[in-house]
Structure 1
């Protein structure tokens, strides 16, 4: 990884020497160490939803894609009481295999942002899936070893910055990559700090959402290398613990064939039920099993809280949710406990998702009050 180390050194140097960009007075050197001094913007989020499976994780194109999210959706999101949307976008939708822009997808991205802003919703633009990095596909991880893929990723963000810099700093933020899955935490530290340094040269004070390695788990927060003296960073984790509960019978997971009971609070899958499963399935279930309640989850999440407090930065849970095959009463208890933890530690959040696999509304846009009342404390 010598290439990566050299780029990381150059990236740090470029941040340290940058003293003015498109927003002329927003970045200046401080003292003899040339440490940049950024100006905190007013970007704020508290409770939001992911607008997923529109410009991300979808093969739908043309008129059907155009119609999936409309102005009425963003109006409803605002009326329900949310203050922002996280907008996942994928490389394969925005650029073809030759790196050429797909204008229709860019137009839809702008339309989604504009509809959000019109409804008083702030927006986090999340580059969710790359051809060189997919969080759920071990065969799509060449971002960590391929110099060309790394450089192309940086170029994507240079293009996105040029495309999105027209939007106010207090309304739109960027999330450089969803759920990085690097074997070595340092590989992620080098890449995320490199892309941040490049964006900082173009937009010194844009808010950037910085997640931890390995699916943005709280366990890797201590290893995250956070830029110093940059108030426009938000630290992000995702939370689907206990996984055997939140992804019960979800068809894309390794434990999809388990149809026995799950519990919350308490041990998610009992020892007796584990013993009754085929060996491979039992192994998957055991890897995610344990005893969980509010106290256990609070101590778990404190790993991220401590890092955010150390750096004086806002903490954000960009994804959480429970698949609807899970018993409603257990889902409700889990949501209540998680909301109380978020409130206790002043953690902003975005539920996964608005509609589709973890829905808060039906395809007919009928709100699910059984969950919304808990999320929005109605």
Structure 2
């Protein structure tokens, strides 16, 4: 359903009463439509397999990637994948003066033309029978990355939380009549508590459980006010790495990550390492620095997530993979163990990219003999690894 750009925040808050009138557990049947699909599995969520698409990842629509072509969906579906996650930066679909910092009032200025572009990609995915997970990679008051000046803090400021709920209500209304088998709402990418929301390197820690619960509950209620069956997912705490026990009663699925250990997944990545050129050479398995890296380390890392699945909470791995500086054979050995553990526990996954540095296409690795695929550079070994789990 369309959402007009002049929707006022006052009308929205009055209509929903989000922060004053609880909706209870209105979403208790949100996953019911998926249970028939997943009945024979341990995981309440289907074992979706696919990719993130980064068309709307940048907060500036004039400085973003080339649009994902339809043929990519055709190839994904033909190779057996059924899931795409769309990490969105909310400023991408706003109308405001980008020559200065955004104001709290401008966070509500929806640009319908930009929203329509996002919807076009959703419709393309649905054309090829793929589930779409909409994710706010940058939400009002928080992003795991810097690069855009936030006017407030999602975890501490009520105005930020109201805006966060406004955006999710808008998306939920647009897809009010779409089945949870086809669309889900991933609330916030990789939450953490950071001293300064606009300083990438400021002190970071896990979000206090009661604070995460307040934010997730408010947003899920805004979504389910439009359709009580909407499927809601929350990324793990501490940048996606840890289970959130404080929300297990809210009928919200949870999303883990496939980046552990970072010395493998983000080897030489400048945004993840203070001194990227002076790191120990990655091995798998093997001694790297002061740690011996092996499948046993991964089994310990995923143990809480596996227990969460067994407790009846749906789990999916919303991001995984390795940057292209990790030696390819090391990457394949490590990633095979990551995917093996997830697959054995009926947990699906989404690689960070389809085409790009982390992707199965055009990853730019120096040590891969790429196969030509309709003019694209295909990493056949990576594709086969993804297909077999």
TM range (shorter): 0.7 to 0.9
Residue by residue over 1:206-244, the C-alpha shift from the partner in whole angstroms, topping out at 9 and shown as x without a partner, is 1111222111113xx15432235x4xx422111211101
Q: How does 1:86-101 map to 2 (within 5 A)?
A: 86-96=85-95, 97=102, 98=106, 99-101=108-110
> Match for residue 342 of structure 2?
342
Partner residue of 1:262 out of 282, 305, 328? 282
Worse overlay, 94-103 or 291-300: 94-103
Residue by residue over 1:15-44, the C-alpha shift from the partner in whole angstroms, topping out at 9 and shown as x without a partner, is 25x5xxxxxxxx8xxxxxxxx566701374
> Match for residue 315 of structure 1?
315
TM-score (norm 1): 0.79
4+ long deviations beyond 6 Å: none
Change (3 A) 1:222 1:161: closer
Provide the C-alpha distance between the structure 1 equivalents of 2:57 and 2:181, rounded to a whole number of angstroms. Answer: 24
Contact 2:18 2:222 in 1 (8 A): no
Change (3 A) 1:114 1:37: closer
Report deviation, 1:58: 6.0
Worse overlay, 38-47 or 297-306: 38-47
RMSD: 2.6
Provide the C-alpha distance between the structure 2 equivalents of 1:114 and 1:354, rounded to a whole number of angstroms. Answer: 18
Partner residue of 2:133 out of 124, 142, 165? 124
Q: How does 1:1-378 map to 2 (within 5 A)?
A: 10=20, 13-16=22-25, 40-42=32-34, 44-52=46-54, 54-57=55-58, 59-61=60-62, 65=65, 67-96=66-95, 97=102, 98=106, 99-137=108-146, 142-182=153-193, 183-218=207-242, 221=243, 223-228=245-250, 230=251, 233-255=252-274, 256-268=276-288, 270=289, 290-310=291-311, 312-362=312-362, 364-377=375-388
> Equivalent residue of 1:263, what SS?
coil
TM-score (norm 2): 0.77
Kindly tell me the number of residue pairs found equivalent between the two proteins.
326
Provide the C-alpha distance between the structure 2 equivalents of 1:150 and 1:227, rounded to a whole number of angstroms. Answer: 21
Contact 1:45 1:84 in 2 (8 A): no
Contact 1:246 1:323 in 2 (8 A): yes
Contact 1:316 1:349 in 2 (8 A): yes
> Equivalent residue of 1:55, what SS?
coil
> Equivalent residue of 2:154, what SS?
helix
Provide the C-alpha distance between the structure 2 equivalents of 1:15 and 1:258, rounded to a whole number of angstroms. Answer: 52
Residue by residue over 1:43-68, the C-alpha shift from the partner in whole angstroms, topping out at 9 and shown as x without a partner, is 7452111112x111364528x75x42
Structure 1 residues not aligned, in runs of 5+:
1-6, 19-26, 28-35, 272-289
